[in-house]
Structure 1
Amino acid sequence: VVAGTAERLDRAGIADDDAPTTARSVTPLSRVPTSISVTVLDPFGNLIGGIGGDFNSNQITDYVKGLLPGQVAAYGSEPFTIEAPGADFRVATTVLPSSLGSVIVAQSLADFDKTTRQIGSVFLIIGSLVLIFIAFASRQVVKVGMRPLEKIEETAEKIAAGDLSARLDNFEPDTEVGRLSTSLNTMLSRIEEAFDARMQSEDKLRRFVADASHELRTPLTAIRGFAELHRQGAVPDGEKTIELISRIEKESMRMGYLVEDLLMLARMDQSPELVISDVNLSELVQEAVTSAQVAGPDHLITTSIASAVVTKGDADKIYQVVTNLLANARAHTPAGTTIAVSVVKDRADSLI
């Protein structure tokens, strides 16, 4: 026996047959230490004997002494718990035959309580880690779910800055965010169309005002010129005066038609219907030239008008076009410039 084996055998209470007789005496091991105890009581509840319970801080005998067989029998065969300071005991009892006494087997719950506390600590740590993981995962999920809303916010800022063409991304149509983005894109398209229609309406209104001022200038100038000629006595009484008054009346009627057309344009936002009829271009152009000569005496107007040139069209609109052309010729050329006006018939076409 080497390396301390004899010493270990002595501590275990085992004798070595090969050991010399001079070895020191060995105390045999009487029992194995345990936390389970067995207690025997006599019929009067006095302690007869017991074994075990070496690891217990409290002894079960302190709590079961004095139990009579009748009291033990009342517990039956089911185990029960005896509460004690520190660790409790789990107890099972039985009565000896002929009520000669009682046998009580007890197990200390100290190890159970220790294991329970350890398991509770482990579960607490695991639960805390799980909660931290769930909180982190939830934050990531919420962050991912909020990305579409962040894009919606960016698009809303662009629209607020005046970019009406900005649109939301097409998200999954089966989700709430997808349906919301689809509805918002539809709404934004309608808003953009409404703004475009408003801008077009404003442009048409501006053109209407410009056209009204331009179109009304020519007949008003002609009327003012005819009136000044009459006031200054440049036209003698008689047939010339009647012709002058007739021209003033025609110009005022054309101005009235022009105002009605402009009002119709403003109300209907479209061109009025044309009144198609036979138009004597020779007479119509001659009247426009006469009015232009009165409105702009600083320009010389020469004419080459064929007689009896007739065409189909709206007389008022053709007269309006001719007077506008003459007015533009006067407005964009210096005084003294000669303006040539001709009306010819070229086979099936009538040319001004």
Structure 2
Amino acid sequence: MTLSLRGRLLIGVISLVVIGLLVANVAMYLSLQSFLMGRVDDQLTNGVDEAANALGATGPFPQRTPYFPVGTVVELIAPDGSVADGKVVAPFGTEGPTARPIVPKTLPNHGADKPAPPYTVQGTEGVQFRMTDWPEGRFHGQFIVLAIPLTDVQSTLSQLLAQEAVISAGVIGGTLVLALLIVQLGLRPLRRMGAVAGEIAAGDYSRRVEPATPRTEIGRLGLALNAMLAQIEAAFAQRTASERRLRRFIADASHELRTPLTSIRGYSEMLRRGASESPSDAELARRRIEEESVRMSTLVDDMLLIARLDQGRPIDSRPVDLQVIARDAAADARAVAPQREITLDAPERVLVAGDDTRLRQVVGNLVRNALVHTPSTTPVEIEVTT
């Protein structure tokens, strides 16, 4: 399934928030756990003497001592592992909690003369204890076990987890709502661009995207889209104008061709009916047929030129000798108008880079215009110089 851009952005934002909250919550949980366990370990380490004195004294373990919380257990372990004596910190007037640590049969501190590093053991009633043990000389080889229940630590950590869950849920929910609003506002220009593109596809090339600041990615996209739309509209307008000019030229050319064709047909009929009996009429007919033929040839050349320009045929650029083109143009002009004085002044080769076909068209049109639009007694000179 392909998600929308809005969906992908929301998923990305929520994923980052969830990962950030998870890392922060885990770090906070581990930090608090380390702090609480360190405080319990300090209580065990600093309460060794008080625990030993409590076993040697008569009466209950002092309630709520500065070192030990309620439920702290101090026991005297015989060499065979049995409990020789023990006391529990309890509120005044009560027997106190009944949970006891399950002392390992082999104590980690056997053979040492100082308290063992604190370690965690399981106790009765599902209560965990943080415990240390050490041999006490006045008890003749017996070991003292001091154990503090981790109930308060676990309760504090459980409360922290609950608070983190509630706060994280609120942060994720608020982030989702805020991200949805921000994404909606951020994607609004894209939706407008999509609507404008749909209107343009329907044929309205004048539509544009609303102006936007170029400092943002969407703003730069909108400006680029407007520039592209302006170029497309200009290209369509240019093509429409070209088509309009072409249609107008074809209509004018059709009208212009009708007149010389009619004249040629009429003079041809005159010659066929016997204009040869009258030399003046025959000369007039031949002259008019020739003039109208030249006129039609000019119109056809113009139509071919427009067709080539509209087709966009690329220029075939190569070295071209203008002397050869001028010589051919002079020869064509003498064939068309043998009575005209046509001179060619091209003493040496002149090479240029160009399209041979188009250069011949240009030179031919110039010579033909000189023949058509000047009196018959006017000499025509074709000169090629560097």
Query: Alpha carbons of 1:37 and 1:72: their partners in 2 closer, same or farther (altered >3 Å)?
Result: farther
Residue in 1 aligned with 2:147?
A: 106
CA RMSD of aligned residues (A): 3.6
Higher relative contact order (CA 8 A, sep 6+): 2
- Is 1:252 matched up with 2:293? yes
- Is 1:37 matched up with 2:37? no
Residue in 2 aligned with 1:52?
A: 89
Supply the distance in 2 between the matched residues of 1:72 and 1:110 (Cα, whole angstroms): 31
- Is 1:169 matched up with 2:244? no
Supply the distance in 1 between the matched residues of 2:86 and 2:289 (Cα, whole angstroms): 148
Q: Which residue identity is paired with 2:84?
A: L
> How far off its partner does 1:157 sit?
0.6
Residue in 2 aligned with 1:189?
A: 230
- Per-residue deviation, residues 106-136 of structure 1 (Å, max 9, x unmatched): 2112232223222212211211222222222
- Is 1:129 matched up with 2:170? yes
- Is 1:91 matched up with 2:131? yes
Query: Alpha carbons of 1:172 and 1:87: their partners in 2 closer, same or farther (altered >3 Å)?
Result: farther
- The question of whether the paired residues in 2 share the 8 Å contact of 1:208 and 1:266 is answered with no
1:114-125 counterparts in 2 under 5 A? Answer: 114-125=155-166
Query: Alpha carbons of 1:314 and 1:103: their partners in 2 closer, same or farther (altered >3 Å)?
Result: same
Query: Alpha carbons of 1:52 and 1:172: their partners in 2 closer, same or farther (altered >3 Å)?
Result: same
Query: Alpha carbons of 1:37 and 1:99: their partners in 2 closer, same or farther (altered >3 Å)?
Result: closer
Identity %: 35
> How far off its partner does 1:161 sit?
0.9
> How far off its partner does 1:153 sit?
0.6
Secondary structure (helix, strand or coil) at the match of 2:127 reads: coil
> How far off its partner does 1:39 sit?
2.5
Residue in 1 aligned with 2:322?
A: none
Q: Which residue identity is paired with 1:169?
A: E
Residue in 2 aligned with 1:344?
A: none
Supply the distance in 2 between the matched residues of 1:241 and 1:114 (Cα, whole angstroms): 129
- The question of whether the paired residues in 1 share the 8 Å contact of 2:108 and 2:116 is answered with no
Supply the distance in 2 between the matched residues of 1:75 and 1:81 (Cα, whole angstroms): 18
Supply the distance in 1 between the matched residues of 2:178 and 2:289 (Cα, whole angstroms): 89
Q: Which has the higher helix share?
A: 2
Normalising to structure 1: TM-score of the pair? 0.58
- The question of whether the paired residues in 1 share the 8 Å contact of 2:109 and 2:134 is answered with no
Residue in 2 aligned with 1:332?
A: none
User: Please, which moves more after superposition, 110-119 or 194-203?
Assistant: 110-119
Query: Alpha carbons of 1:160 and 1:216: their partners in 2 closer, same or farther (altered >3 Å)?
Result: same
Residue in 1 aligned with 2:259?
A: 218
Residue in 1 aligned with 2:15?
A: none
- The question of whether the paired residues in 2 share the 8 Å contact of 1:72 and 1:102 is answered with no
Structure 2: gaps spanning 5 or more residues: 1-59, 65-69, 311-368, 375-386
Query: Alpha carbons of 1:55 and 1:123: their partners in 2 closer, same or farther (altered >3 Å)?
Result: farther
Supply the distance in 2 between the matched residues of 1:260 and 1:69 (Cα, whole angstroms): 114
Supply the distance in 1 between the matched residues of 2:255 and 2:138 (Cα, whole angstroms): 137
Secondary structure (helix, strand or coil) at the match of 2:207 reads: coil
1:253-268 counterparts in 2 under 5 A? Answer: 253-267=294-308
Secondary structure (helix, strand or coil) at the match of 2:145 reads: strand
Q: Which residue identity is paired with 2:75?
A: T
Secondary structure (helix, strand or coil) at the match of 2:205 reads: coil
Residue in 2 aligned with 1:201?
A: 242
- The question of whether the paired residues in 2 share the 8 Å contact of 1:43 and 1:99 is answered with no
1:1-352 counterparts in 2 under 5 A? Answer: 32=63, 34-41=70-77, 45-52=82-89, 54-60=95-101, 63-64=102-103, 71=110, 73=112, 76-85=115-124, 86-98=126-138, 100=140, 101-232=142-273, 237-267=278-308, 316=372
Supply the distance in 2 between the matched residues of 1:69 and 1:251 (Cα, whole angstroms): 127
Q: Which residue identity is paired with 2:269?
A: E
Query: Alpha carbons of 1:57 and 1:136: their partners in 2 closer, same or farther (altered >3 Å)?
Result: farther
Supply the distance in 1 between the matched residues of 2:182 and 2:168 (Cα, whole angstroms): 20
Normalising to structure 2: TM-score of the pair? 0.54
User: Please, which moves more after superposition, 102-111 or 194-203?
Assistant: 102-111
Secondary structure (helix, strand or coil) at the match of 1:71 reads: coil
- The question of whether the paired residues in 2 share the 8 Å contact of 1:77 and 1:93 is answered with yes
Q: Which residue identity is paired with 1:92?
A: T
User: Please, which moves more after superposition, 156-165 or 137-146?
Assistant: 137-146
Rg bigger for which structure? 1
- Report how many residues are paired: 246
- Per-residue deviation, residues 54-98 of structure 1 (Å, max 9, x unmatched): 5434224xx349778963847834222221241111123333235
Query: Alpha carbons of 1:89 and 1:188: their partners in 2 closer, same or farther (altered >3 Å)?
Result: same
Supply the distance in 2 between the matched residues of 1:247 and 1:30 (Cα, whole angstroms): 143
Query: Alpha carbons of 1:74 and 1:238: their partners in 2 closer, same or farther (altered >3 Å)?
Result: same
Query: Alpha carbons of 1:46 and 1:223: their partners in 2 closer, same or farther (altered >3 Å)?
Result: closer
